[in-house]
Amino acid sequence: MLAVIGKMLTPAQPKITAELLAGEMQKRVSLPMDLGDGFRLDSIVASGNDVVSTVTVSQLPAGPADTALRRTLEQAAISDACREIAAMKAEYVKLGIRIVKVFKNDKGGEIVTAVVDPASCP
């Protein structure tokens, strides 16, 4: 879904912003969207130069998530984002757009936030 930036760069639209990218991504999905395995994509919004996706992880016990789960979610989000933008990495870097994924539990409590700076992707 993050690869839409390639389709958006045209002579008529030479400057892509996080807001334009988030809007285009919103058009391509019906929110909330079941991602399977207890994950649900709830929102995609822009915040400054960040494209922020909020994902709810269901069936977690109340209270803080354990460190291993937080680390696993963060690493998976970074890996997924880097893989998705690989073909357009240079454009993301040039435009200064970061990818942020916020994971929450069913009660709305934040589990972890993963921030991906495309320049740090392999």
Give the 3-state secondary structure of 31-87. Answer: CCEEEECCEEEEEEEEECCEEEEEEEECCCCCCCCCHHHHHHHHHHHHHHHHHHHHH
pTM of the model: 0.86
| pLDDT tens by residue, 70-122 | 999 999 999 999 998 898 888 889 889 999 999 999 888 899 999 999 999 99
| pLDDT tens by residue, 19-58 | 988 988 888 889 999 999 999 999 999 999 999 999 999 9
CATH architecture type of domain 2-120: 2-Layer Sandwich (3.30)
